[in-house]
Amino acid sequence: MTPSIWLRIASVLTLVLAVGHTTGFPWTPDQGVQSVLLVNQMKSLHFEVMGFSRSYWDFYLGFGLTIGVALVLLAVWLWQLAGIAKTEPQRARPYVAVLLAGFAALALLDWVYFFTPPLALTIAIVLCLALSVASGSRTPSARTSDRGG
């Protein structure tokens, strides 16, 4: 398969990851007494940050929503990058390599801190990005540019 196809697959998987992450809102899987008490404490403890009154709950929700937006942004960017990779795979390659490193770091964080669904999706995205980089080095235009022509 071509680099562009691998990037389109990575884009769709990233969008699935974004939807999965966002549907977990507000990311409190346990509704037991201790969990409810903890969430209430997070909501009630306010402090001043750069002139704003915020709680730990504000940060928790804000970071969670920020991650959802960032994942949608990455999905769109991967889709657009696939268009570039379709005609100029060598031009897209450095950007894909950066995304590959970033998603590899996310996979490690998923392994350490989260659970199977985000880990599996992130590993699949890493594989798609790696295959995009690898297949881009074998395209005819890449071989031609390697020979200086």
Asked whether residue 148 carries a pLDDT value surpassing 60, the answer given is no
pLDDT tens digit sequence for 33-56: 999 999 999 999 999 999 999 999
Beta pairing partners, 72? none
Maximum average pLDDT range among 23-27, 81-85, 141-145: 81-85
Prediction pTM value? 0.85
DSSP string, 46-98: EEEETTEEEEHHHHHHHHHHHHHHHHHHHHHHHHHHHHHHHH-HHHHHHHHHH
Position 140 confidence tier, pLDDT thresholds 50, 70, 90: low
Position 138 confidence tier, pLDDT thresholds 50, 70, 90: low
Q: What is the pLDDT of residue 57?
A: 93
Q: What is the pLDDT of residue 26?
A: 85
pLDDT tens digit sequence for 1-24: 999 999 999 999 999 999 999 998
Asked whether residue 147 carries a pLDDT value surpassing 50, the answer given is no
